[in-house]
Structure 1
Amino acid sequence: MADVVDAAGGAGAAAESGTAGPAAGGPAAGKVSPLLLLALFSGLFLVFLDTTVVNVALPDLQDDLGADVRGLQWVVDSYLLTFSCLLLSAGALADRIGAKRLFTGALVGFTLTSAWCALSGSVGMLLVARAAQGVTGAVLMPVSMVIITQLFPDQKARGRMIGVQSAVAGLALAAGPLIGGLLVEEYGWQSVFWVNLPVGILAVAVLAVLLPRVRPEQRTGMDLGGQLLFVAGVGLLTYALIEGNSAGWTSARILGCLAGAAVTLIVFVLWEARRKHPLLPLEFFRHPHVSAGAIINFTVFGAMFGAVFLLMLTLQEVDGLSPVQAGVRTVVLTVTVAVTSVLGVMLGERVGVRITAFVGAVSMAAGLTGLLLLEYQDGFSHYWWQFLLLGLGAGFAGPPVTAALLRAVPEERAGTGSGVGYTSRQVGSVFGVAVSGTLVSHHLSSGAPSALAGLPLPPEAVDKIAAGDFSGAAALPERIRPEVLSRVGDLFLDGTHLAYVSGAGACGVAALAALLLLRRHRSGEEGGTPG
């Protein structure tokens, strides 16, 4: 990292004076403190860690709080929903009030809401705490990109730091299952939230001292109307997708939510088109790299997050693995993401973003298709290569197109531009978990009665399994337990196959977007201004 750090100015000197040199962005000369970068990336590490560490804790959480598959979906999506819906405002806010104040304040909030999650004694309380945690996490991702833009004015050095940032995200994804598995087995699901406190406190202390304060160049007002419309539209659609199976897809509540989401999102686009300072500048999408970045991030990461959600349930609830055993088996996926996130940006600079992103999308689709071969209680030797392809797909598709997207927007709008890229990724993740969980839930509810027919099970036990709650399996009589688990496992896997097929189709869309919208880009090119 030394050559990249040398490319930027001295954060330490700027911190002493309280400003960061020229308006163009970074400090004037010297080095960026490695301790500053460590603190900055530690905050991001926590945000990404909480997207995977919670997946490992879901079965233990289900046993403790009595949640079904629908409740588990909300545990994941309540965080992702607020996280994704507020990314645009966070990026725009950094352009207006300053990155240092916003990032450090959000990191304090993330640390406190992590403690709130750990102290939750019911599913309802945990959902509220997770939503609040998502609000603070939404600030950290796009504002970190603004800080990188300020610290590294050089395009090449900045691109490498984006790769490092992606590697940190991949490392957090890799560490999540292992850290989560060890913590859950020893201390319970609450510990996956307590672990955020010491890291958050230390990072805030370092950032307060070393992070330079750059005077924001924009003083325009916030688009509160656009923000409310966006939250309402995405929230209504997510609610309908998760609750549709239990409430009935033709029920007035679900049809009303779907209609409301469609109307609200249409009004949102019309509203943004008429605003002088919109939340989502639609003119950005005139640049093909911005459009491609949004499409590819949405589809590829939606497919991956949906698959990871189901895989963690499969490994623990169906195959009977412990949290640590499940975490170890996902390391091949997450370590591959960490490595290829850096390689993907470098490869994009050499051979072009178009080829790199296309290879990534195809690899993700191939990995998801390979998961269709999984059968009940298959060993690791049957699915390691699918995990490898999923990691390769995420690393080659995501970071290169995000770097290309940022090159395509004006530098003074870096916060808003990064918000566009990350919002598409996280909204895709919300929908990926919602759609995947809904497909499996529907398959369980419709198939459980016939699959369990002929077994001496009380109706309430069948209903519980049909809802995706397997917490009572250990209490079943020994003489019927293996047969029940075998039938339910096959039924559950059949449902996951539907989700994997839909994810592979989404990645096909990403591959087409890469071919049609991404022009050949080498490191010497300058990013164009949209429009």
Structure 2
Amino acid sequence: MFGLEISSVPVILPTLEKVLQGDFKEMQWIMNAYTIACTTVLMATGTLADRFGRKRIFTIAIVLFGITSLICGMAHSVSVLIASRFLQGIAGGAMLICQVAVLSHQFQEGQARTRAFGAWGIIFGIGLGFGPIVGGVIVAVSDWQWVFLIHVLIAIVTLLLVFNGVQESSDPQAKKLDLLGMVTLSLSVFGLAYFITQGSDLGFTSITGIGIITAAAISLILFIFAEKINAHPMFDFSVFKIRNFSGALFGSMGMNFSFWPFMIYLPIYFQSSLGYNSVTAGSALLAYTLPTLVIPPLAERLSLRYHPGVVIPLGLFTIGAGFILMRAGSGAEHASWLTMLPGCLLAGIGLGLTNTPVTNTTTSSVPSSRAGMASGIDMSARLISLAINIALMGYILMEGILSSLRSTFSGSLDAGQLRSLAERIAAGDVVALKQGFPGLGSLDSSGTAVHAALVQGFGLVMLYGCIGAWVLAVASFVMFGPRERVQQTSPVV
């Protein structure tokens, strides 16, 4: 369910933009409301699962995910869908953290643990890998609502599996919820994402803009202070002394500086720049997502043989190389899914090499009784970096498109018109532009300028994804340190 939710919704964003009459920023918030909500509940859920039982909280989360998916499917406006996605994200974050904690407790030994997390990676990969084509087909043959409603049916099946296969477990030493930490962390992430997403409208240097980013910074400082003084913090900073844990955490962040946020924008490229319909775009995205289905078992075996400190940075480097190839493919003279194919495949392989070793390493680096806390920090790092980079990639895309339009239409359109045009192009509303944007047809009758703007914008986004992945690959490799040193320090909490 979680993998399917991540990869099927981006494919239908261009459809939602038209049907619900939303704009580019609202499409970003449809994704980011879910992401920020996940971040809000992760650590609280980890604590509740450790205290009251991981199977019990997991069951509650699945039920809530099914209910909130039903609410999303019944939404008839962008604002209602964004609010519903926030509720769905709360349930999704709780569901995700519990499943990792359950696996970590139920499979604690080397080979069994490797097989369990390898299987987890495959199942996650099925949802992730086939999500784009599922979303595209649903939009083509039915209504977009079924992209959400399908989770109601899957939730029922999942509950049956949980009742029959999951053992109850808890941590007798688990403490109270860290409410101050939850609130301050969530406000800081929301404030930064809001500043990046809405900054161009508010004015980055306006009183409102400066107030928002200042409030986000104060919230972050308060969060750090709250965790330092709390006897039982939700973020136990002592685990960052474990090189294995911190090295894997950089790998966790690296995936969300590159692969995951770009999945939201790649369908827009396929549909707007290449002119594909939702089914074809979903099919083209399979090259990006399907490697995550077949690579995880190999990644786990490689981790056992060569150490996660080698495999995780290698995976991030591979993702970055894939982004460079995608950038080259998008700028080709006759760009198509074929020119994008090598880069998409390579990025997907890199994600498959990174994802499950990161999850396994972060949870195995601490005692099993603290698996909820460890997986909570891991998932928080993923979702915080994802929320920020959804906003950053959207900003880079917009500015890249706007820069290209300025050089082409600066004498024909004013600054406001250029920004409005850039937003519509970024949102994927290319087909309707000539009919709906005053004077554009006569200025760009062949559509060459619009296409060039898209290529430039997406080229910058892909370059950013590559740099982010490579920088964090180096940070991860350095943090893991020599293999012998990691083995000596990893048992210490």
> TM-score, length-normalised on structure 1?
0.85
SS at match of 1:157: helix
Asked if structure 1 preserves the Cα contact closer than 8 Å seen for 2:326 and 2:342, the reply is no
Aligned to 2:454: 492
User: Which amino acid in the other structure matches residue 300 of structure 1?
Assistant: M
SS at match of 1:436: helix
Write the deviation string for residues 485-506 of structure 1: whole angstroms up to 9, x where unpaired: 3311211221122222222121
Aligned to 1:505: 467
Aligned with 1:409 (options 366, 373, 377): 366
Name the CA distance, whole Å, in 2 between partners of 1:460 and 1:266: 37
Write the deviation string for residues 422-445 of structure 1: whole angstroms up to 9, x where unpaired: 221222221221110111123334
Give 1:166 shift: 1.8
Q: How many residue pairs get matched?
A: 484
**1:254 to 2:216 alignment:** no
Aligned to 1:529: 491
SS at match of 2:397: helix
Aligned to 2:18: 63
**1:293 to 2:255 alignment:** no
**1:214 to 2:214 alignment:** no
CA RMSD of aligned residues (A): 2.6
**1:387 to 2:344 alignment:** yes
Give 1:529 shift: 3.5
Name the CA distance, whole Å, in 2 between partners of 1:185 and 1:396: 33
**1:329 to 2:287 alignment:** no
**1:476 to 2:434 alignment:** yes
Aligned to 1:116: 71
Name the CA distance, whole Å, in 2 between partners of 1:291 and 1:57: 36
Asked if structure 1 preserves the Cα contact closer than 8 Å seen for 2:247 and 2:309, the reply is no
Q: How has the CA–CA distance of structure 1 residues 449 and 528 changed in structure 2, closer, same or farther, with 3 Å as cutoff? A: closer
Name the CA distance, whole Å, in 2 between partners of 1:213 and 1:361: 35
User: Which amino acid in the other structure matches residue 380 of structure 2?
Assistant: T
Aligned to 1:136: 91
Asked if structure 1 preserves the Cα contact closer than 8 Å seen for 2:246 and 2:480, the reply is no
Name the CA distance, whole Å, in 2 between partners of 1:377 and 1:432: 29
Give 1:211 shift: 3.2
Give 1:84 shift: 2.4
User: Which amino acid in the other structure matches residue 200 of structure 1?
Assistant: A
Deviates further, 245-254 or 318-327 = 245-254
Name the CA distance, whole Å, in 2 between partners of 1:61 and 1:112: 21
- Structure 1 unaligned runs (5+)? 1-45
Aligned with 1:75 (options 30, 43, 48): 30
Asked if structure 2 preserves the Cα contact closer than 8 Å seen for 1:301 and 1:394, the reply is no
User: Which amino acid in the other structure matches residue 390 of structure 1?
Assistant: A
Q: Alignment identity in percent?
A: 25
Aligned to 1:29: none
SS at match of 2:168: coil
Give 1:243 shift: 0.9
Write the deviation string for residues 256-282 of structure 1: whole angstroms up to 9, x where unpaired: 221221221122112112211101000
Give 1:223 shift: 0.7
Aligned to 1:181: 136
Give 1:362 shift: 1.1
Q: How has the CA–CA distance of structure 1 residues 480 and 306 changed in structure 2, closer, same or farther, with 3 Å as cutoff? A: farther
Name the CA distance, whole Å, in 1 between partners of 2:418 and 2:193: 27
SS at match of 2:290: helix
Aligned with 2:320 (options 360, 365, 383): 365
User: Which amino acid in the other structure matches residue 148 of structure 1?
Assistant: L
> TM-score, length-normalised on structure 2?
0.91
Asked if structure 1 preserves the Cα contact closer than 8 Å seen for 2:408 and 2:449, the reply is yes
Give 1:521 shift: 6.0
Q: How has the CA–CA distance of structure 1 residues 519 and 162 changed in structure 2, closer, same or farther, with 3 Å as cutoff? A: farther
Name the CA distance, whole Å, in 2 between partners of 1:454 and 1:377: 29
Asked if structure 2 preserves the Cα contact closer than 8 Å seen for 1:56 and 1:180, the reply is yes
**1:152 to 2:76 alignment:** no
- Structure 2 unaligned runs (5+)? none
Aligned to 2:399: 442
Name the CA distance, whole Å, in 1 between partners of 2:124 and 2:170: 28
SS at match of 2:432: helix
Deviates further, 176-185 or 327-336 = 327-336
SS at match of 1:121: coil
SS at match of 1:204: helix
Name the CA distance, whole Å, in 2 between partners of 1:399 and 1:463: 41
User: Which amino acid in the other structure matches residue 265 of structure 2?
Assistant: L
Q: How has the CA–CA distance of structure 1 residues 210 and 162 changed in structure 2, closer, same or farther, with 3 Å as cutoff? A: closer
Name the CA distance, whole Å, in 2 between partners of 1:163 and 1:413: 21
Name the CA distance, whole Å, in 2 between partners of 1:197 and 1:413: 31
Q: How has the CA–CA distance of structure 1 residues 481 and 344 changed in structure 2, closer, same or farther, with 3 Å as cutoff? A: farther
User: Which amino acid in the other structure matches residue 447 of structure 2?
Assistant: L
Q: How has the CA–CA distance of structure 1 residues 448 and 412 changed in structure 2, closer, same or farther, with 3 Å as cutoff? A: same
Q: How has the CA–CA distance of structure 1 residues 339 and 155 changed in structure 2, closer, same or farther, with 3 Å as cutoff? A: same
SS at match of 1:330: helix
Q: How has the CA–CA distance of structure 1 residues 279 and 219 changed in structure 2, closer, same or farther, with 3 Å as cutoff? A: closer
Name the CA distance, whole Å, in 2 between partners of 1:235 and 1:56: 24
Deviates further, 148-157 or 465-474 = 465-474
User: Which amino acid in the other structure matches residue 431 of structure 2?
Assistant: A
Write the deviation string for residues 152-192 of structure 1: whole angstroms up to 9, x where unpaired: 23233113211221222222111110100100111132120
Name the CA distance, whole Å, in 1 between partners of 2:84 and 2:57: 20
Aligned to 2:310: 355
Aligned with 1:398 (options 355, 359, 382): 355
